[in-house]
Amino acid sequence: MHEKFYSKNCNNCNQLATTYIKFQIMDQVYNQEQALRHGTLFPDLYRPYDPCGKNKEWRNYG
């Protein structure tokens, strides 16, 4: 049924999506109080959900 989507005749155009995640290297860390407050120990990973991109402030929290 899916042959046409996975056809071997089409070089490299039949790949499924792949993900890539950069390897984390520990840099700054929050103190224990701020870690619990932010939900992460690592400022690099602090990225609160912000669908409209309105709140730029969090970028400065680190």
Partner 1 sequence: MDRDQMNMIVELMEVSFVLVETALYLNTHPNDERALRLHNNASTQYVQLEEMYQARYGPLKNTGMSRYPWAYIDEPWPWEINFNFN
Distance CA 25, CA 56 (A): 24
DSSP state of 62: -
d(CA 48, CA 39): 10
**Candidate ranges 8-16, 39-47, 53-61; the one touching partner 1 (CB under 8 A):** 39-47
Please identify, using beta-carbon distances, which residue of 24 and 60 lies nearer to partner 1: 24
Residue 55 tokens read as 């709140």
The verdict on 60 binding partner 1 (CB under 8 A) reads no
**26 makes contact with partner 1 (CB under 8 A):** yes
Site for partner 1, rule CB under 8 A = 24, 26, 29, 32-33, 35-37, 40-42
